[in-house]
Copies of this chain bind each other. A is one copy, B any other.
Amino acid sequence: MAVDAPHPQPKLDEVAKLAGVSRSVASRALNNAPHVSRAKREAVARAVRQLGYVPNPTARALATRHTGAAALVVAGEDPSIFADPFFAQVIVGASAALEEADLHLMLCLAASDRGRKRVERLLRAKGADGAMLMALREDDPLVPMAERAKMPVVFGGRPVGPAPRWYVDVDNVGGAREATEYLVSRGRTRVAMICGRLDTEAGRARYRGYRDAMLAAGLDPFPPQEGDFTESSGAAAMAALLTEHPDLDGVFAANDNMGVGALRTLREAGRRVPDDVSVVGFDDLAVAELADPPLTTVHQPINAFGREMARMLVALVNGQDPTPLILPTRLVTRSSA
């Protein structure tokens, strides 16, 4: 049955010969394309098994002009941005969707200059069948690069500026509004916000949602207190807020990491949460549930985010024209507010 291959790597020619057909028939049989009789189809299958043949993906890619891979580009100027568990979940979702389309996932961490150059090359040289771009900053050179790309590009989260043709995003404004409204509904009137980086669209949109909700409630929005989405920056921002506005009674943090940081600062400052100060986060990562007290937060469907991004890309690769997608958020109430 299982015979060790005569050559280190059998090629299609040998399969064809063994099956007693021409190379083209063998090829068609392999890709189960039409115009191959049942008998020859089986003969080819047998030969493949006997030889342990596996088609060479590179050769196939050259002939079909499809690489069979999709790139997921995570920009950000610091590779540590990738340490955010957010991305892991996105990847799980995207990977599953790509697997369905039988595409491989190339992961590009484009923090360094060198990394960006490589991404540009990839985009322009058709090194993949499509790309997903995430975590772009304002004026990120990746945006114009994407336009010159020789392949479909899907954005994960809109970049700052005009919305791209294809993207998946989360309802940042709506989520932030809901979080703020919730704080207000709990009787909080001096609600500050710890924003994410304001050179990202997510950072801005979440602040907009907060401001809208505050204004709608007839309250004064605080000026943005900027952090960079890390725990320590959240702690620092909270400390700054506490000195400037010692009387605040609510805080909305643009993500859970910063929310947890805020929690820490508040604890150290002797403020009770939620009695003295209520805190709401954004993301609903594992850390929110484990925080002390467990963090009320805006849940976003991260896995779906990755999945839909990949599906949109697959649709594009298949020549369809999908429409942009904005995923809903949902408030998860725990003990911090």
Q: Which residues of A are interface residues toward B (Cβ below 8 A)?
A: 8-9, 52, 54-59, 61-62, 67, 69, 79-80, 82-85, 87-89, 91-92, 95-96, 99, 102, 104-109, 112, 114-115, 118, 121-122, 124-127, 150, 231, 260, 264, 286-287, 290, 292
Given contacts A95-B79, A260-B290, A290-B287, contact A58 B67 (CB under 8 A): yes
Q: Which of B61, B80, B107, B108 contacts A58 (CB 8 A)?
A: B61
**Across-interface contacts of A96 in B (CB, < 8 A):** 79, 109
Given contacts A79-B92, A99-B118, contact A8 B127 (CB under 8 A): no
Contact A92 B109 (CB under 8 A): yes
Nearest-neighbour CB distance to chain B for A293, whole angstroms, equals 11
Contact B105 A108 (CB under 8 A): yes
Contact B109 A107 (CB under 8 A): no
Taken together as a complex, chains A and B put the C-alpha atoms of A61 and B125 apart, in Å, by: 13
Interface centre among A58, A92, A127 (most CB of B within 10 A): A58
**Across-interface contacts of A80 in B (CB, < 8 A):** 92
Contact B99 A92 (CB under 8 A): no
Q: Which of B9, B112, B126 contacts A56 (CB 8 A)?
A: B126
- Give the number of times this chain occurs in the complex, counting copies: 2
Contact A109 B88 (CB under 8 A): no
Q: Is the interface of A mostly helix, strand, loop or mixed?
A: helix
Contact B83 A83 (CB under 8 A): no
Contact B106 A122 (CB under 8 A): no
Contact A115 B91 (CB under 8 A): no
Q: Which 3 A-B pairs have the closest CB atoms?
A: A54-B125, A58-B61, A107-B107
Nearest B residue to A55 via CB reads B125
Taken together as a complex, chains A and B put the C-alpha atoms of A290 and B118 apart, in Å, by: 36
Taken together as a complex, chains A and B put the C-alpha atoms of A126 and B260 apart, in Å, by: 45
Taken together as a complex, chains A and B put the C-alpha atoms of A114 and B95 apart, in Å, by: 12
Contact A95 B107 (CB under 8 A): yes
Nearest-neighbour CB distance to chain B for A39, whole angstroms, equals 26
Taken together as a complex, chains A and B put the C-alpha atoms of A182 and B91 apart, in Å, by: 38
Contact B104 A54 (CB under 8 A): no
